[in-house]
A and B are shown apart, each in its own frame.
Chain A
């Protein structure tokens, strides 16, 4: 196993966004359990929205957080890629998601088929901006969204895997 960027190996870079440079610390934690790339959580663990802490230079910089599932409804046939689970904007640097504006509320992921990736992406805004919720959650395009609101490339990202509660797929290591 050679060492590679987990975001590349896990195809998050590629399927959801293009290669970018991490600039800002991003910590996402479900009930005191911090997310690391590629770790697995079951739906019961992610039923409530996580705590999100964002780094950054000073509180005059604002960030947008996007949470998507690129493997909806099933990784082998992701016809609904990407499914938007959460969208929060105007998060001031050095604070958390509770200081931002929730444009699309957190929807608890409940995968049925296969093992899904759930990706958190952080974008830096040019300033405070109004963001309109899309008409529906499915077939969201993070790339198009970033372009539409001039967000540029992401400044941070983290993802984890999730399968249905009674699933048996996954690692046999």
Chain B
């Protein structure tokens, strides 16, 4: 069975091949984001990611979390069994460390998920890692090869497939965008209609009130005036 302590024995070859593998992997496509390890690697050099070693505790303080090996992350992920979506930070070409179901390694997951995409990385990873008991689907069969020598037709088909998937995702995003815009407009319209109804009602009420007040004020004024006039005419002296 795979031990997570496999890491030390496989790490030296990995480090030398590291950056180029990642570059190749990245150009292949995006299995989500291989962010932290990648960036750390670029900034601090190829040693930084593995510098922490497999013995670093999992809940690391914020700065040290960046140096958490991708293997740690992969261990966590396979432990929780949440492998439905490609894990964001686990996608660098780390050595295996499956503690989840079966004897699955990161590379296997990638191979299973993306066909021959991971083929380029496998060559540098498996020294010291037992082959038996490890399942590999599809393009994962090419252990030990640096770059999969595919037929041109295969490659074209794969590229077409990738393109189609990308296009599909882009179309989906575009539809979401359009729908979100329309939803926002709809809610604005509803809000404005409400506001307008409210304002009209208020205006109507004010008009009514004004009219009523006007009516009440007019009649008493006229009456008073008449009485006063009458009184005045009566007060003349003869």
Contacts and interface: CB of A to CB of B under 8 A. Distances in A.
Nearest to B34: A79
B182 interface: yes
Interface in B21-57: 26, 29-30, 32-36, 38-39
B63 A78 contact: no
A135 B39 contact: no
Interface residues of A, number: 31
Interface stretch (B120-128, B148-156, B166-174, B229-237): B166-174
A76 B35 contact: no
Contacts of A3: 183, 186-187
Interface string A90-122: 000000000000000000000000110000000
B238 interface: no
Given A76-B166, A171-B181, A9 B176 contact: yes
Nearest to A1: B182
Contacts of A139: 33, 35-36, 39
A114 B177 CA distance: 12
Interface residues of B, number: 30
A10 interface: yes
Contacts of B26: 79
B35 A77 contact: no
B35 A148 contact: no
Interface in A134-163: 135-136, 138-139, 148, 161
Contact of B30 (A7, A39, A77): A77
A72 to B, nearest CB: 10
Nearest to B169: A76
Given A80-B35, A139-B36, A36 B188 contact: yes
18 contacts: A1-B179, A4-B179, A4-B183, A6-B187, A10-B180, A36-B184, A36-B188, A37-B180, A39-B184, A76-B170, A78-B30, A79-B35, A79-B38, A80-B35, A114-B170, A135-B63, A171-B177, A171-B178
Contacts of A148: 62
Nearest to A139: B35
Contacts of A161: 177
B30 A76 contact: yes
Interface in B128-185: 166, 169-170, 173, 176-184
Contacts, number: 79
A75 interface: yes
Contacts of A5: 183
Interface string A63-87: 0000000000001111111000000
Interface in B184-225: 184, 186-188
Contacts of B32: 79
Contacts of B182: 1
Contacts of A36: 184, 188
Highest count of chain B CB atoms <10 Å: which of A76, A78, A171: A76
Contact of A39 (B29, B35, B178, B181): B181
A38 B184 contact: yes
Contacts of B36: 139
Contacts of B170: 75-76, 114
A71 to B, nearest CB: 9
Contacts of B181: 6, 37-39, 171
Nearest to B166: A76
Interface string A31-68: 00000111100000000000000000000000000000
A38 B39 contact: no
Nearest to A40: B181
Given A75-B173, A77-B30, A79-B30, A9 B180 contact: yes
